[in-house]
Amino acid sequence: MEENRIGICMICEQQRSGGIHIITAFICDECSGEIVKTNVNDQKYPFFVNQMKKALYLGNSKQYMN
């Protein structure tokens, strides 16, 4: 059973259908594909790392807020 996931991508910040949810963040299929094929020496790599840090930070802070 496959769901049609829709959300605002944390990488490109566009509303997209198709992607994955990591903690509380959504990453569209296009960006997840770009992340996977990006070499650590690529100029885009630090951008992807920082965007992922945001997802982890926001996800962890929401988990402990009550």
List the pLDDT tens digit at each of the 66 positions of the chain: 345 678 899 899 899 999 998 877 889 999 999 999 999 999 999 999 998 887 777 655 544 333
Q: Provide φ and ψ at 46, rounded to 5°.
A: -60, -35
The DSSP 8-state label assigned to residue 9 in this structure reads B
End-to-end Cα, the chain, rounded Å? 33
Amino acid at 65: M
Query: pLDDT value at position 58?
Result: 67
Helix, strand, coil distribution of the chain in percent, nearest 5: 45, 25, 35
Query: pLDDT value at position 63?
Result: 43
Q: Provide φ and ψ at 27, rounded to 5°.
A: -125, 125
Query: pLDDT value at position 32?
Result: 94
Token digits for 40? 């650590």
